Structure 1
Amino acid sequence: MKDRTASAPQLQRLDGSPVRVLVVDDEANLTELLGMALRYEGWEVRLAATGMEAVRVAREFDPDAVVLDMMLPDFDGLEVLRRMRADNPLVPVLFLTAKDAVEDRVSGLTAGGDDYVTKPFSLEEVVARVRALMRRTTVSMSAADSVLVVGDLTLDEDSHEVTRGGEEIHLTATEFELLRYLMRNPKRVLSKAQILDRVWNYDFGGQANVVELYISYLRKKIDAGREPMIHTMRGAGYVLKPAL
């Protein structure tokens, strides 16, 4: 497989970690080959052989894209799609269909699938299709993109400028790092332990008050006099999302 690093920028999750792809097919040799090709891109990959396993892994793994065979031993790809979308309405899905199964392709796209490839296919084609799907979502972005945007809140990672509704907001270095982590994970609940690990670089251990203190600082600067964007999820952590 040829090197694509020079022609295609590395895709990452908004928090800087590798993108995640779930491959679902009951042909073990095929899933292993697809997994190898996708890992070659630097992505994290999980494999599943049945519909039930796919739904369970998707809930645990939180994939950024799914490669999904239409025909599985327990139930079909349309049912897998329906159950996955109940948990994650935005996850893009690439269907794998039989060469002559026109009805499968139409059904898959009608049900909400984003694209399809027919068997037999080249590994390069599947990788290219998955890459294209993720580029059309807000889950992943190019590492070169330095401006984070959530609702009317923007943060420039290079200049350290922060604005909300066009109004400049001045933050300390720690407040900036905390906000950057929240904005790289919009609409995701982040625990105090996760925040301590990413922002302060030490393990959770009686330091929850530090997170609470800096969240309160941020709220005074980001949310004061405006619709709140930073929300406390009792017993779970904090989440940043666009104001209603």
Structure 2
Amino acid sequence: MKRILIAEDEPQIAAFLQKGLQAHGFTTTVADDGVKATYMARTEDFELLILDLGLPEKHGIQVIEELRRRGEMLPIIVLTVIQDVQDKVKALEAGANDYLTKPFSLEELIARIRVQLRYQRPLQSPEETVLKTGDLVLDLKQRSAQFKGYRIELSTREFTLLEILARQPGQVWTREELLDQVWGYDYDPSSNIVDVYIGYLRKKLGRGSIKTVRGLGYRLQV
């Protein structure tokens, strides 16, 4: 599994990122200040750093500058509430690879992570990008799906939701967990959008493909 370092001092956002990335097959570690983030990025084997700029102890731009000064080529995605163009420019000029402003969509972050990892490993094998669960086959690179040998057309959100369910087909996911992972931590928790999209997937995969566990949530059964 690909290891990602999350440098984030807000516990709610750090927990959200960990859950979301782990649901997509990544291994995660959290550093809650800039000094720890710098040390861990230098001494441990990570494949990408998600970095908040407003970290205690050492500012995110200082973290980037030190890592690049020491020759560390670890891909860095900046994730911050700061929207000033000059801060974005400073982060990119210091050596950040990409930049995403809070509030953010987990779906967009996952896509940006995959872009950076693809740049780092252009010769990765097909096995690393294909997820198979029963009669369901998801091509994570092409964002395409097949079920029982037939291609099925999925929207971006449908694909992301199905990927989460397919990675752990026996696991029951609550509506709140799926809402967090697919639509973002700042989405209205009273929304019925999860149920709507589960309905979309059932129409394409068959009604028995996603089971409702009464009082708990949903699980994939293909």
Q: With structure 1 as the length reference, what TM-score do the two structures score?
A: 0.48
Could you tell me how far apart the structure 1 residues matched to 2:123 and 2:33 are? 27
Query: Quick check: 1:103 aligned with 2:73?
Result: no
Match of 2:46 in 1: 63
Superposition deviation, residue 81 in structure 1:
1.3
Match of 2:25 in 1: 42
Could you tell me how far apart the structure 1 residues matched to 2:57 and 2:92 are? 21
* Letter of the 2:65 counterpart: R
| DSSP 3-state at the match of 1:105 | helix
Aligned residues: 128
1:120 to 99, 103, 108: 103
* Letter of the 1:61 counterpart: E
Could you tell me how far apart the structure 2 residues matched to 1:61 and 1:94 are? 18
Larger Rg: 1
Could you tell me how far apart the structure 2 residues matched to 1:54 and 1:44 are? 16
* Letter of the 1:111 counterpart: A
Structure 2 gap ranges (5+): 129-222
After alignment, is 88-97 or 103-112 more displaced? 88-97
Superposition deviation, residue 57 in structure 1:
1.9
* Letter of the 1:46 counterpart: T
Cα separation, partners in 2 of 1:87 and 1:36, compared to 1, 3 Å: farther
Once the two structures are superposed, the pairs formed by residues 40-189 of structure 1 within 5 Å of their partners are: 40-87=23-70, 89-138=72-121, 141-144=124-127
Cα separation, partners in 2 of 1:33 and 1:126, compared to 1, 3 Å: same
The answer to whether the 8 A contact 2:68-2:95 is kept is no
Match of 2:202 in 1: none
The answer to whether the 8 A contact 1:134-1:140 is kept is no
Superposition deviation, residue 139 in structure 1:
8.4
Superposition deviation, residue 58 in structure 1:
1.7
Could you tell me how far apart the structure 2 residues matched to 1:78 and 1:139 are? 28
Could you tell me how far apart the structure 1 residues matched to 2:9 and 2:103 are? 15
| DSSP 3-state at the match of 1:141 | coil
Could you tell me how far apart the structure 2 residues matched to 1:32 and 1:140 are? 32
Superposition deviation, residue 41 in structure 1:
1.5
Could you tell me how far apart the structure 2 residues matched to 1:25 and 1:138 are? 26
In proportion to residue count, which structure has more helix? 2
* Letter of the 2:77 counterpart: L
Identity of aligned residues (%): 34
The answer to whether the 8 A contact 2:2-2:47 is kept is yes
* Letter of the 1:59 counterpart: R
Q: With structure 2 as the length reference, what TM-score do the two structures score?
A: 0.53
* Letter of the 1:80 counterpart: V
